[in-house]
């Protein structure tokens, strides 16, 4: 089985997953990793999986063209969304990374420019998300053991509610720092509500709405439409 498939001039990585419950093969596109996952029934062969992907090449091309925005690498001159504004990336001979207004000055080393930009954005995301999480959690008198950021492909936040008084652990996608403020705050309110309500029942949505003070629907709609563009930020061409 090849490790990638040539689609629209790109070598798209392929991964195989066997599912004991699957009755037929299926394809899943991951916008975050820009890869294709082939889900196989237990007895399907690798040759069948290869043929299945090839036979669906036309559908894959259509879906990738529609659902995967153009990569937006972190390079000098790039305009990066940042909350309700943006940051213009500029190369500088100075060390490290420095923000001046809506400019982000990054050391000009071409090999490290993107990774330094990403590290700065992740660190700023953690700072903002940690403060907003603890502020909302205090309103419902729920302890928070830890807040962290990662780069998950399928969710914007998660909450592991702690037992007794040990506090819950909440994780977010660092890419939320590039979403509008109302979207980021909606995700924070959603995860904080899970400290009290582990499911998505009526009680959860009432609490989540009380915490946000407005409906979550606009934020959810924004992520559904623009989420793939956030995952394209920082991706090399």
182 in the same domain as 130? yes
In this model, does residue 108 exceed pLDDT 60?
yes
- The pLDDT-based confidence of 31 (bands split at 50, 70, 90) is confident
Domain count for the chain? 2
- The pLDDT-based confidence of 69 (bands split at 50, 70, 90) is confident
The residue to which tokens 């001159």 are assigned: 77
Give the pTM.
0.81
Helices and strands (DSSP H and E) totals, the chain = 6, 11
Among candidate residues 26, 41, 67, the one where a domain is terminated = 67
170-214 tens-digit pLDDT = 999 999 999 999 999 999 999 999 999 989 999 999 999 999 999
Alpha helices in 140-216 (DSSP H): 181-193, 202-212
Domain containing residue 213: 79-232
Nearest-angstrom CA–CA distance, 221 and 135: 25
Determine the 3-state secondary structure of 216 from DSSP. coil
- The tokens describing 121, both together, are 């954005």
- The pLDDT-based confidence of 163 (bands split at 50, 70, 90) is low
Among candidate residues 19, 38, 67, the one where a domain is terminated = 67
Q: Which residues contact 7 (CB under 8 A, 6 or more apart)?
A: 57, 60, 61, 64
In this model, does residue 18 exceed pLDDT 60?
yes
């Amino acid at each position: 089985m090849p490790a990638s498939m040539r689609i629209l001039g790109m070598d798209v990585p392929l991964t195989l997953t066997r599912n004991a419950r699957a009755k037929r093969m299926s394809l899943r596109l991951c916008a975050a990793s820009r890869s294709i996952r082939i889900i196989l029934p237990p007895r399907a062969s690798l040759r069948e999986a290869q043929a299945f992907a090839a036979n669906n090449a036309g559908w894959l091309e259509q879906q990738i063209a529609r659902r995967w925005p153009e990569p937006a690498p972190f390079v000098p001159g790039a305009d990066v969304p940042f909350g309700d504004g943006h940051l213009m990336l500029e190369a500088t001979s100075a060390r490290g990374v420095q923000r001046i207004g809506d400019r982000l000055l990054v050391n000009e080393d071409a090999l490290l420019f993107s990774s330094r930009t990403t590290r700065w954005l992740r660190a700023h995301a953690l700072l903002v998300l940690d403060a907003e999480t603890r502020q909302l959690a205090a309103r419902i008198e729920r302890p928070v053991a830890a807040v962290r950021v990662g780069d998950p492909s399928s969710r914007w936040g998660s909450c592991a509610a702690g037992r007794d008084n040990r506090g819950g652990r909440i994780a977010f996608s660092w890419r939320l720092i590039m979403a509008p403020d109302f979207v980021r705050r909606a995700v924070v309110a959603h995860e904080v509500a899970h400290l009290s309500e582990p499911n998505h029942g009526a009680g959860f949505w009432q609490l989540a709405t009380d915490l946000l003070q407005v409906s979550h629907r606009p934020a959810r709609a924004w992520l559904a439409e623009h989420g793939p563009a956030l995952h394209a930020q920082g991706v090399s061409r």
